[in-house]
Chain A
Amino acid sequence: MERRRRTLFDILDEYFSRAERIFESALESGWDEFSSCIEPLSNVFVGTSDVIITIDMPYVDRESVRVGVHDDVVEVLARTEKPICLDEMGLRHRRGRFDSYHTVLRIPVPVDKERMETRLKRGILEIRLPRVA
């Protein structure tokens, strides 16, 4: 089979795709310096009657936690009780200063968002969403 000759656009497209992947993987650590936001560790557990989502947010300001459920995603926003600075963690080459958490998680099964329950203990937010048939 004759191979199509790659055009300049194909080469540029490939280059930008690769650059985008590298950039995304650099941001994977979840410390977003541009928005001063940390993407927290999270876990989605699908039980027989509930979906239980937990989110680990050390130093979270409990009064600031906001949880929203839209279609099949849950979005959590919260502020930290004090700014978290990378240089205070011994990193001299980065100047990140973080004051909030933000994450968006997909809910893998249908849930009743009206019966959502949340609790925060030791900086870990638990969101319990009853499943619907």
Chain B
Amino acid sequence: MSEGMAFVEKVEIPKGSTLMVGLPDVGLVGVIALSHIVSSLKMEEVGSIESKMFPPIVVLHGGVPKPSIRIFAKGSLLAILSEMAIPASLVIPLAEEIVNWASRKGVKLILSMGGMAVQNRQDLDKPKVFSAISERGLEKHLNGITESLEEGYMVGAYAIILKRCSEIGIPGITLLAQTFFNYPDPEAAAATIEVINKILNLNIDYSDLLRKGEEIRLRAKDVMRRTQEEMVRMNKAQEYDVPAIYG
């Protein structure tokens, strides 16, 4: 345990699960996609991540206070979903602890959902979803489903999750949908769910994300703004850079 971070579990977490992660990032893709998945699959809230280092925030749902980062489960699927922007100073310890916890719980695959900001997003009718993997061999899960990212920078929690997966040998896949840097993007979230459906053999209907796009964008405006402030602190814009060294 680092930075006083604790994983509170209300029930026994089954071994051999697939863990999906949705944290606030560019376009809020992961948060929008995973909250839709959690709701569509009626996943049960089974725990939370707590830390005295987190901002003093609880989210009220149905009049009841809920932790900002919750753990959900259904069958062999787990989900970690954050409703608060992660302070830049906590991105590394949180991401590392998520992977360490997953390792202790015998998770067989970590599937993170994020975005990749592109300047021409407004002109893309359907955003593409790319993937980054923690180890060679995972491409077989993704053949023909996503294009893989071979070169480039990743900045933020998903970068650390992938690195930590690689270090301790947990298979990790990060999905990165083309998105806006600082506008909530339900269309990118829908494209991500389409890919998740194929990887995990699910059949989640994402049409609501497209139909209610404007409402979602408006509701997510404030979380996006807070997230943008943290992304600036962690130099997220470096993802636009071209690496100097090839291979």
Binding site for B on A (CB under 8 A): 29-30, 38, 40-41, 43, 45, 54, 56, 58-59, 84, 89, 121-124, 126
Contact = CB atoms under 8 A, between A and B. Distances in A.
A30 B221 CA distance: 9
Given A38-B221, A41-B183, A59-B214, 5 more contacts: A29-B222, A30-B222, A41-B225, A43-B181, A58-B213
B219 A89 contact: yes
B224 interface: yes
Given A30-B225, A122-B122, A41 B182 contact: yes
9 contacts: A30-B221, A43-B183, A56-B183, A56-B184, A56-B217, A58-B213, A84-B218, A89-B218, A122-B122
A47 B242 CA distance: 17
Given A30-B225, A89-B219, A126 B122 contact: yes
B44 interface: no
Most buried by A among B180, B182, B221: B221
B119 interface: yes
Given A41-B183, A43-B182, A58 B122 contact: no
Interface string B182-198: 11100000000000000
A41 B122 contact: no
Contacts of B119: 45
Contacts of B217: 56, 58, 123
Interface of A is mostly: strand
B214 A41 contact: no
B188 to A, nearest CB: 12
Q: Which 9 A-B pairs have the closest CB atoms?
A: A58-B214, A56-B183, A58-B217, A58-B218, A29-B222, A59-B214, A121-B122, A41-B183, A124-B122
Contact of A41 (B123, B219, B221): B221
B150 interface: no
A64 to B, nearest CB: 16
B215 interface: yes
A89 B217 CA distance: 12
Interface in B140-168: none
A54 to B, nearest CB: 7
Nearest to B61: A90
A108 to B, nearest CB: 15
A6 B2 CA distance: 44
A59 B182 CA distance: 18
A121 B184 CA distance: 15
Contacts of A126: 122
Contacts of B218: 58-59, 84, 89
Contacts of B182: 41, 43
